[in-house]
């Protein structure tokens, strides 16, 4: 087990190096010369060349990559091409925090709706309740956010005037409700499916049957045995939350006017702001990989059979 | 300047304000020699279209302040010396200021700002400016002629990294040496005393004063920049009617009244620019913003007199611009004038304007837009004529579809579709001529690069906006053989001769005639497919916002705006 | 999973399916949608690119069954061609991502283990380390220009037309962009299944008899892990339809004049705004494509659930 964890720990930084190199490489083959981009139509071949030299773009890719990584380790992710004079980190971090907060809210909604419904559906297997829950969640899941987000704005902001049509006032504000619901409810459908399946799995285990036959009360069985054991596989889904920060809430952030990371990412792709993009992928990958690592290690400790 | 026109829907929706804000964005004033005399006569011709909401401002009425809110985009920079785009321009001109500024008076578009007055000495080569008394920066420090000199030199310094300084300040003696890094001192700028400064330029150029209205010539605070370093614009010390109070990238910009402004202070306490996006129409209806553009999809509803929003509706005067599909005349099949003419004749612009754009656009048959100096109603252009189009196609070298080179129309954009105009025109070519074209959508950054490099065979989604009121801003810049912005490589000796004559012509009527002759040749050569003149947008402005005016050019406006608390 | 005889598997499958009415309804709906999409050239009433400015933004009528858009194009025709577009993208993604990469790499990794296994798993981990939507957009945005100019080059060199107008280039870009999403999950599933039965008696017996690895893999192992693969693919089809909408929303899908459901939705939604207006003023223009996309996602999930219950009554993921 220790050996496994150790292996994973060694592999993680290598993984990140490969991933970040890939983005670096994509930035290199993408059309559009950064020097030309900065100089706009004032670009003459001499000016372009001078700027390329200054930016170090004339050096080989690998050398540039390693000097980038060297700086990145110290927390310097370079300067944005588009926002002149701004460091990538100062651009990214405030927006990242917004997206993280939004996605925490989304996860809370998904979990609060998804897990109880999934559990309840499993418990009521065979009755009309189970298919009703599953179907209605699927119904909502299949609705494109292109449709639901504008619809919710029209109803709750324009018609009823309960909240603003756009804006972000932090985590503890009612403005977070609509966007979080827009992604959270379809997300809950996935939690329902997993929770229902994993509850059914546990219910059918011999020890639960034994517990029932021993006459333990419902509460004890439900909470001590079934839920505790069925929630474990759900942990994996928390990786979704982290992945969601980087682009999962893209359309929602744009439609609701939330100053999150998605819009920045999109603009960075379209405007060829590769320092921002590389940094985004680097941070995103790091978070994703670390989360998976923690989940994996947690599993290994709980269930040593996994290798 | 070039402005985005890829999507009329989006444009009219909310970006209209953002995009049409900069009147001197990427491209500056061209090298025309207009004397100041001509300039003022010329300006009689254009109306700067000062349409606005009927002002209910009667005497004695109390003008109160408050907060005006609107939607904007992240400005690429707030350093006036680095501004090259309309989004930054719209904010920078409210916060910073220079010796002179653009005003709303069509007869005298250039107004004094920090300079109270100026004299032109030495046969038009030296400008002597007299600063206002008690000029102060927003932090209360005095503005001196030292600051003016330092600011102009700083704009030129290579470390500042301005890409437009040569265009706007390059005429000043000594500035080019600074740009090249050979000097730190512009010998052409002479401080006479605390209030008087002289600027010497290399030749008598009447348009020089107009260039000083661009942010490259704005005044910044030395200490502010030296202490603030690269992030000095986070807390800028400035001289405009407003000061920057807060800038959170992707969230909002707040500018607040500058109490140390030399003129009468602004009524508004603050202007808040929402940068996070969202659905601006819904935000307006919800009173979250005070001004919004109206998109095509909402137009019918808003124009309905029974709709409550209808009373807020305002017509935004068209900007002095023309949108077009450009042809690269070096590349087949566009090297054949008959083929180009055929494509022109095959498009029924009036029908598109009526049916697709609810007549928000005005079909362009020439280059120079109406109400602009040099506009000629005589130019009829290549109006829709299917038969003529077919005949010309058959006469051209590319009548056979099997041997005709591939035609790719490149459009800028990142949305779902490349814009209604290009799609409907491509289909008109197909239906009326049987000419098939391929539409390629590329992102704006790549598009601009390819355009400037002359890599595009045919390009759509572009619009050209006047930088200053003179026909040269269209004809010289876009069609002279050696102009850097002649992206279609159009070259006609006759046109070049006419342009050269016009540049030195002192008589205003003759000059306009020369330009009209050139324009006629260009139109008949079908160098472009001109599409629309200035999009006339519709906007909504809350009834309590008073004296918010729309102009055809972008000028500082918020300082005059006030809020009627009785309605609010 | 036990090794069923193919015939009994199929009859169990049919019996079970008939019991599930909703799944049957969904299958019929999808059948109709896909039928319409495949036969779009025959079933369409207009040319999808044909504009008609004499009748823009009409509501549904006898000539234009679902009305017309702002350019007077027939919405019904554009929707069914859009369905065909989605079908093509789905097929490309499933063939390349699921069959070629997912299944074969999964079989290889699980069966041979060792270095191959490590390499494939590591590769998958690298790819899944990217936030997926970002990766898709990045790939599509950076690859498109190079692939298009390559297409031009081929056309010019060999002197014929039609590569680009056929939309092959667009499909290639979309296929490559969606690839990273589609293969790793399935690969892991297949690998896990193979691992669980590679030591089964019948596999060992075949090995002992000197049967070649290829035959063992495809005659003995593959049929026995088929059902989870089918379930997994059926879940993913809905997701692919949604990805197409996403790509088009960002202007990275098929290029006009070819219609796509994503463009029809994204067109009016672009830059997050106008869809409210269209929804309020001309809902019919937006509803048809949205309902089709919605149906595809919903039905494939119902079918996936049903298949899952039929094939793996105990393991209901």
Strand partners, B222: none
Here the CATH number for the domain that contains residue C98 is: 1.10.3720.10
Is the Cβ–Cβ distance between A146 and C297 less than 8 Å? no
In a domain, A52, yes or no: yes
Residues of C with CB under 8 A from a CB of B: 49-51, 53-54, 56, 70-72, 141, 145, 148, 152, 155, 161, 164-165, 248-251, 253, 255-257, 262-263, 265-274, 276-278, 280-282
Residue C27 lies in a domain: no
Is residue A182 a part of any domain in this protein?
yes
Alpha helices in C75-225 (DSSP H): 75-93, 104-112, 114-128, 132-158, 168-197, 201-208, 213-215
pLDDT at B56: 41
Residue B488 neighbours by CB distance under 10 Å: 25
Q: Identify whether residues B70 and B103 lie together within a single domain.
A: no
Chain B residue numbers with beta carbons less than 8 Å from the beta carbon of C250 are: 414-416
Domain that holds residue B551: 57-89+240-316+542-568
Residues 10-29 of B with CB under 8 A from A: 26-27
Residue B166 φ/ψ region, left for φ over 0, alpha for ψ in the -120 to 50 degree band, beta for the rest? alpha
Inter-chain touch B248–A259, beta carbons under 8 Å = yes
Note whether residue B226 is domain-resident.
yes
pLDDT score of B244: 94
DSSP type of residue B142: B
Question: Does some domain include residue B244?
Answer: yes
Of chain B residues 7-46, which have a CB less than 8 A from chain C? 7, 9-10, 13-15
- Please name the residues in contact with A232: beta carbons below 8 A apart, sequence gap of 6 or more: A198, A302
Q: Residues A51, A131: one domain?
A: no
Within 10 angstroms of residue A10's Cβ, the number of other Cβ atoms is 10
What's the CA angle centered on C73, arms C72 and C79, to 5 degrees?
145
Query: What's the DSSP call for residue C221?
Result: I
Average pLDDT over residues A250-272: 81
Q: Please check whether residues B288 and B325 belong to one and the same domain.
A: no
What pLDDT was estimated at residue B6?
31
Q: Are residues A187 and A271 in the same domain?
A: yes
Which of residues B170 and C274 earns the better pLDDT score? Answer: B170
User: Is residue A185 scored above 70 in pLDDT?
Assistant: yes
C37, pLDDT greater than 90: yes
In which domain, by residue range, is C104 found?
63-315
Q: Could you tell me where the beta strands, DSSP code E, fall in B202-298?
A: 242-248, 252-257, 270-274, 291-293
Q: How many CB atoms lie within 10 A of CB B1?
A: 24
C33 occurs within a structural domain: no
pLDDT in tens, C41-94: 999 888 888 888 888 778 888 888 888 887 888 989 999 999 999 999 999 888
Note whether A67 and A161 are same-domain residues. Answer: no
Find residues 126-185 of chain A whose CB sits inside 8 Å of chain C.
131, 134-135, 138-139, 141-144, 146-147, 150-151, 153-154, 158
Contacts of A293 in chain C (CB under 8 A): none
B363 & B413 share domain? yes
Same domain, A38 and A150: no
Cα distance between residue C251 and residue C254, in whole Å: 8
Matching residue, tokens 């060349």: A49
Residue with tokens 């209901």: C316
**Cross-chain CB nearest to B416 (options C71, C152, C249):** C249
pLDDT at residue C295 greater than cutoff 90: yes
If you compute the radius of gyration of chain B from its CA atoms, what whole number of angstroms results? 24
In angstroms, the CA C107 to CA C192 distance is 9
Asked if the C-beta of B427 comes within 8 angstroms of chain C's C-beta atoms, the answer is yes
Q: In the beta sheet, which residues pair with residue B464?
A: B2, B322
Claim to verify: residue B283 and residue B150 sit in the same structural domain: no
Residue B136: per-residue pLDDT: 92
Same domain, A198 and A272: yes
Please, which pLDDT band fits residue A298 given cuts at 50, 70 and 90? confident
The answer to whether residues B414 and B443 touch, using CB atoms and an 8 Å cutoff, is yes
CB contact under 8 A, C273 and B351: no
- The pLDDT, as a whole number, for residue A8 is 81
Q: For residues A279 and A78, what is the distance between their CA atoms, to the nearest angstrom? A: 9
What is the CATH classification number for the domain harbouring A249? Answer: 1.10.3720.10
At A302, the pLDDT band (50, 70, 90 cuts) reads low
Domain boundary among A23, A50, A76: A76
* Least confident range of A23-37, B169-183, C213-227: A23-37
Q: Is residue C38 in some structural domain?
A: no
Tens of pLDDT, residues B360-385: 788 999 999 888 878 888 888 899 99
List all chains that touch chain B, counting a touch as 3 or more CB pairs closer than 8 Å. A, C
Check whether residue A140 and residue A176 sit in a common domain. Answer: yes
pLDDT at residue B551 in the model? 79
Q: Are strands B545-546 and B313-316 parallel, antiparallel or unpaired?
A: unpaired
Q: Does B251 touch chain A (CB under 8 A)?
A: yes
C-beta atoms of C145 and A31 within 8 A:
yes
- B416, B498: one domain: yes
What mean pLDDT do residues A264-268 have?
80
Domain count, chain C: 1
Q: Is residue B46 domain-resident? A: no
Residue keyed to tokens 């508004």? B268
Work out whether strand B2-4 and strand B458-465 pair parallel, antiparallel, or are unpaired.
antiparallel
- 3-state DSSP call for residue B534? coil
> Do B150 and B192 fall within a single domain?
yes
Query: Is residue C158 a part of any domain in this protein?
Result: yes
pLDDT, tens only, C156-168: 777 666 666 677 8
Q: CB–CB of B53/B108 below 8 Å?
A: no
Residues B166 and B213 in one domain: yes
C134/A280 touch (CB, cutoff 8 Å), yes or no: yes
* Residue that terminates a domain, selected from B216, B234, B252: B234
CA distance C233 to chain A (A): 16
Position A202 in a domain: yes
Q: Is B415 in the C-facing interface, judged by CB distances under 8 Å?
A: yes
Number of domains in chain A: 2
Asked whether the predicted pLDDT for residue C314 surpasses 70, the reply is no
Do A37 and A108 share a domain, yes or no?
no
Q: Per-residue pLDDT tens for B318-335?
A: 878 888 999 999 988 899
Q: What does R_g of chain C's alpha carbons equal in angstroms? A: 22
For CA atoms C224, C225, C231, C233, give the dihedral sign. negative
Query: What is the average pLDDT score of chain A?
Result: 80
Judge if A97 and A72 occupy the same domain: no
What pLDDT is recorded for position A297?
Answer: 77
Q: In this predicted structure, what is the pLDDT of residue B108? A: 74
Query: Are B181 and B273 found together in one domain?
Result: no
Tally the C-alpha atoms within 13 A of residue C179's C-alpha that lie toward its C-beta: 16
User: Is residue C95 in a domain?
Assistant: yes
Q: Does C269 touch chain A (CB under 8 A)?
A: yes
Beta bridge partners of B197: B129, B191
Beta-carbon count within 10 A of B423 CB: 23
* Domain shared by B106 and B118, yes or no: yes
- Among A45, A76, A107, the domain-final residue is A76
Measured CA to CA, the distance from residue C248 to residue C245 in angstroms comes to 5
Confidence at residue A288, expressed as pLDDT on a 0 to 100 scale: 81
- My answer on whether omega of the bond before C180 falls inside 30° of 0, hence cis, is no
Instruction: Using an 8 Å CB-CB cutoff, list chain C residues near B347.
Output: none
Asked, for residue A14, whether it belongs to a domain, the answer is: no
In a domain? residue C40: no
Asked if residue B52 is part of any domain, the answer here is no
CA-angle at C262, arms to C256 and C268, nearest 5°: 85
Q: Is C30 in the A-facing interface, judged by CB distances under 8 Å?
A: no
Nearest CA in chain C to B298: C277
Read off the pLDDT of each residue in C181-196 and give the average, rounded to a whole number.
84
pLDDT band at residue A171 under the 50/70/90 scheme: confident
Mean pLDDT of A1-7: 79
Q: Which residues of C touch B15 (CB under 8 A)?
A: 271
Looking at mean pLDDT, say which of A254-268, B253-267, C88-102 comes out highest.
B253-267
pLDDT, one tens digit per residue, over B436-479 is 888 887 777 778 778 877 788 999 887 787 766 678 778 887 89
The answer to whether residue B114 sits within a structural domain is yes
Q: Calculate what percentage of chain A has a pLDDT beyond 90.
A: 5
Whether residue A261 sits in one domain with residue A199: yes
Least confident of A215-219, C31-35, C145-149: A215-219
Q: Percent of chain C having pLDDT more than 70? A: 87
- Nearest CB to C317; choose among A197, A245, A289: A197
Whether residue A184 sits in one domain with residue A59: no
Q: Residue B70: phi, psi to the nearest 5? A: -155, 170
Q: Which residues of B385-420 are buried (b: 16+ CB within 10 A; e: fewer)?
A: eeebbbebbeebebbeeeebebbbbbbbbbbbbbbb
Residues B429 and B486 in one domain: yes
SS3 content of chain C, % helix, strand, coil (to 5): 75, 0, 25
Quickly state the pLDDT bin for A31 (edges 50, 70, 90): low
Same domain, A54 and A191: no
Same domain, B300 and B440: no
pLDDT of residue B506: 63
Is B48 inside any structural domain? no
- What are the residue ranges in chain B where pLDDT is below 50? 1-60
Query: Domain containing A294: what range?
Result: 93-302
Residue B141 has which token pair? Answer: 């420090």
- Report pLDDT for B62: 66
Count of CB atoms situated within 10 Å of the CB of A206: 7
ipTM over 0.85: no
Same domain, A237 and A298: yes
- Name which of A154, A196, A248 is nearest C279 (Cβ-Cβ): A154
Decide which of A46, A76, A106 is a domain's last residue.
A76
Give the minimum alpha-carbon distance from C146 to chain A in angstroms, rounded to a whole number. 8
- pLDDT band at A65; cut points 50, 70, 90: confident
Q: How many CB atoms lie within 10 A of CB C156?
A: 12
For the CA atoms of chain A, what is the radius of gyration? 24
In a shared domain, residues B402 and B489: yes
DSSP E strands in B358-457: the ranges are: 362-363, 408-412, 438-442
Which one-letter DSSP state was computed for residue B231?
A: G
User: What's the Cα-to-Cα distance from A99 to each of A102, A178, C96, rounded to whole Å?
Assistant: 5, 14, 33
In a domain, B45, yes or no: no
Which tokens hold the place of A215? 């006459």
In a domain? residue B197: yes
Length of chain A, please?
307
pTM score > 0.90 for this model? Answer: no
Number of domains in chain B: 3
């Amino acid at each position: 087990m220790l050996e496994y964890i150790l292996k994973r720990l060694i592999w993680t930084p290598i993984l990140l190096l490969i991933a970040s190199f890939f983005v670096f490489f994509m930035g290199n083959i993408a059309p559009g010369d950064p020097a030309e981009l900065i100089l706009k139509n004032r670009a003459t071949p001499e000016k372009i060349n001078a700027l390329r030299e200054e930016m170090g773009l004339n050096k080989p890719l690998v050398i540039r990559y390693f000097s980038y990584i060297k700086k990145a380790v110290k927390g310097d992710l370079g300067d944005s091409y588009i926002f002149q004079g701004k460091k990538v980190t100062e651009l990214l971090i405030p927006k990242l925090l917004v997206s993280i907060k939004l996605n925490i809210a989304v996860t809370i909604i998904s979990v609060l709706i998804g897990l109880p419904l999934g559990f309840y559906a499993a418990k009521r297997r065979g009755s009309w309740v189970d298919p009703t829950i599953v179907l209605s969640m699927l119904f909502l899941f299949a609705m494109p956010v292109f449709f639901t987000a504008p619809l919710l704005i029209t109803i709750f902001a324009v018609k009823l005037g309960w909240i603003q049509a756009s804006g972000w006032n932090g985590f503890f504000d009612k403005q977070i409700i609509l966007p979080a619901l827009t992604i959270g409810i379809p997300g809950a459908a996935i939690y329902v499916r997993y929770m229902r399946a994993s509850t059914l799995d546990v219910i059918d285990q011999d020890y639960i049957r034994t517990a029932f036959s021993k006459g333990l009360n419902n509460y004890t069985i439900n909470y001590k045995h079934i839920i505790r054991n069925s929630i474990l596989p759900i942990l994996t889904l928390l990786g979704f939350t982290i992945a969601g920060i980087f682009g999962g809430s893209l359309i929602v952030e744009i439609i609701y006017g939330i100053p999150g990371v998605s819009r920045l990412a999109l603009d960075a792709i379209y405007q060829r702001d590769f320092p921002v993009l590389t940094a985004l992928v680097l941070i995103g990958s790091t978070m994703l990989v670390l989360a998976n690592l923690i989940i994996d290690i947690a599993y290994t400790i709980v269930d040593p059979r996994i290798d | 300047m070039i402005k985005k026109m890829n999507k009329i829907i989006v444009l009219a929706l909310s970006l209209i304000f953002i995009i049409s804000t900069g009147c001197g964005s990427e491209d500056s004033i061209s090298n025309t020699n207009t004397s100041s005399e001509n300039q003022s006569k010329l300006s009689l011709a254009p109306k700067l279209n000062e349409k606005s909401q009927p002002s209910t401002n009667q005497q004695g009425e109390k003008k109160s302040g408050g907060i005006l809110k609107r939607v904007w985009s992240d400005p690429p920079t707030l350093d006036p010396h680095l501004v090259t785009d309309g989004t930054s321009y719209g904010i920078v001109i409210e916060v910073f200021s220079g010796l002179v500024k653009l005003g709303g008076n069509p007869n005298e578009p250039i107004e004094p700002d920090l300079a109270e007055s100026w004299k032109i000495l030495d046969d038009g080569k030296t400008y002597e400016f007299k600063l206002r008394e008690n000029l102060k920066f927003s932090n209360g420090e005095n503005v001196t002629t030292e600051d003016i000199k330092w600011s102009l030199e700083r704009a030129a310094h290579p470390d500042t990294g301005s890409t437009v300084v040569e265009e706007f300040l390059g005429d000043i003696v000594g500035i080019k040496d600074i740009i090249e890094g050979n000097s730190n001192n512009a010998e052409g700028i002479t401080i006479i005393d605390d209030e008087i400064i002289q600027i010497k330029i290399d030749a008598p150029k009447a348009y020089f004063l107009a260039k000083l209205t661009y942010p490259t010539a704005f005044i910044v605070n030395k200490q502010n920049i030296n202490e603030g370093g690269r992030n000095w614009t986070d807390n800028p010390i400035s001289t405009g009617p407003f000061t920057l109070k807060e800038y959170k990238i992707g969230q909002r910009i707040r500018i607040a009244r500058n109490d140390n402004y030399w003129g009468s202070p602004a009524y508004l306490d603050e202007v808040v620019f929402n940068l996070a996006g969202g659905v601006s129409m819904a935000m307006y209806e919800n009173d979250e913003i005070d001004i919004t553009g109206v998109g095509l999809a909402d137009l019918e509803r808003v124009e309905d007199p029974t709709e409550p929003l209808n009373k807020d509706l305002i017509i935004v005067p068209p900007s002095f611009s023309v949108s077009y599909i450009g042809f690269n005349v070096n590349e087949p099949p566009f090297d054949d004038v008959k083929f180009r003419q055929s494509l022109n004749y095959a498009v029924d612009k009036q029908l598109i304007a009526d049916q697709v754009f609810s007549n928000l656009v005005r079909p362009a048959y020439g280059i120079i837009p109406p109400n602009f100096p040099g506009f000629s109603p005589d130019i009829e252009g290549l109006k829709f004529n299917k038969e003529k189009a077919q005949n010309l196609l058959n006469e051209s070298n590319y009548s056979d579809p099997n041997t005709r080179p591939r035609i790719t129309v490149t459009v800028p954009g990142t949305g779902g579709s490349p814009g209604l105009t290009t799609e409907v025109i491509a289909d008109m070519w197909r239906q009326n001529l049987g000419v098939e074209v391929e539409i390629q959508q590329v992102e704006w950054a790549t598009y601009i690069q390819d355009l400037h490099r002359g890599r595009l065979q045919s390009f759509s989604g572009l619009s050209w906006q006047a930088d200053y009121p003179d026909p040269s801003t269209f004809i010289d810049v876009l069609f002279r053989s050696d102009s850097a912005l002649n992206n279609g490589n159009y070259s006609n000796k006759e046109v070049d001769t006419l342009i050269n004559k016009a540049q030195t012509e002192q008589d205003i009527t003759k000059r306009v005639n020369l330009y009209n002759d050139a324009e006629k040749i260009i139109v008949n050569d079908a160098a472009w497919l001109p599409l629309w003149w200035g999009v006339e947008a519709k906007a909504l402005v809350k009834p309590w916002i008073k004296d918010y005016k729309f102009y055809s050019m972008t000028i500082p406006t918020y300082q005059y705006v006030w809020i009627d608390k009785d309605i609010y | 999973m036990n090794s069923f005889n193919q015939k009994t598997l199929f009859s169990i499958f049919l019996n079970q399916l008939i019991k599930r009415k909703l799944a049957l309804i969904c299958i019929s709906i999808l059948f109709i949608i896909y039928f319409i999409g495949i036969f779009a050239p025959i079933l369409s009433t207009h040319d999808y690119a044909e504009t008609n400015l004499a009748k823009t933004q009409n509501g549904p009528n006898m000539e234009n069954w679902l009305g017309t858009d702002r350019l007077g194009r027939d919405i019904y025709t554009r929707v069914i061609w859009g369905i065909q577009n989605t079908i093509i993208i789905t097929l490309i993604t499933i063939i390349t991502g699921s069959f070629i990469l997912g299944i074969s790499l999964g079989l290889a990794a699980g069966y041979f283990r060792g270095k191959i296994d490590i390499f494939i798993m590591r590769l998958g981990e690298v790819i899944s380390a990217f936030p997926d939507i970002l990766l898709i957009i990045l790939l599509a945005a950076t690859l498109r220009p190079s692939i298009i100019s390559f297409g031009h080059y081929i056309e010019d060199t060999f002197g014929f037309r039609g590569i680009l107008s056929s939309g092959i280039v667009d499909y290639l870009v979309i296929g490559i962009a969606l690839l990273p999403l589609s293969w790793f999950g399935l690969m892991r599933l297949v690998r896990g299944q193979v691992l669980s039965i590679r030591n089964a008696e019948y596999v060992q017996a075949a090995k002992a008899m000197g049967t070649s690895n290829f035959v063992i893999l495809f005659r003995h192992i593959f049929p026995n892990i088929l059902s989870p693969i089918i379930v997994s693919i059926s879940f993913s089809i809905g997701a692919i339809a949604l990805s197409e909408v996403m790509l088009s929303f960002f202007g990275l899908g098929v290029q006009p004049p070819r219609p796509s459901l994503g463009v029809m939705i994204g067109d009016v939604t672009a830059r997050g705004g106008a869809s409210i207006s269209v929804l309020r003023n001309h809902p019919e223009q937006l509803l048809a494509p949205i309902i089709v996309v919605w149906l595809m996602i919903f039905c494939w999930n119902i079918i996936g659930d049903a298949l899952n219950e039929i094939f793996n009554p105990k393991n209901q993921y």
